[in-house]
Amino acid sequence: PVAVLVTCAGVMATSAAAASIATMTADVWERTFAVNALGTFLCVREFLRRYAEQAVPAGRIVTMSSAAAQIGGYRGDAAYIASKAAVIGFTKIAARQAAAAGITVNCVAAGPVATPMFDRAMDEASLPGLLDRIPAGRIGQPAEIAALVAHLAGQDAGFITGATFDVNGGYSMR
């Protein structure tokens, strides 16, 4: 039996052509959605199917989105931003449908975090401007995201569902 699912795969196109909607190819759009949105759907669907066959107490699902999905992004391609926005919407309907089974479903919308994907997408010349938009004045660390995910996956988070949590040093405030 599986008690916790965290969907944290993600891709972002980093080519100059992918940065603009006018020059982005449908292949880039489809690949990005296949990993970010369809991948989330397939994993959640399989979790719910397995859970129906072999339930365990307090099932937890945590999806990963991005601050870029909430603000429209300063950088990044449209496919990434749109696919991560889809994850936020999907998380809400999944939370509604899974609640009766005792499963919570929440989303973490991470801001700029020191990951290989961030490093590929960010050039050094743009970093000072990005840091100016983050009140905390720094890039986040993967462990900071993991800490929230661990809490949401734990027993103490049983009354939290359908929520999107911003972890971004103040980059996006709602």
Please indicate whether residue 51 is annotated as part of the active site.
no
Catalytic annotation, pick one of 51, 74, 80, 171: 80
Tell me, what amino acid is at 52?
A
Residues belonging to the active site: 80
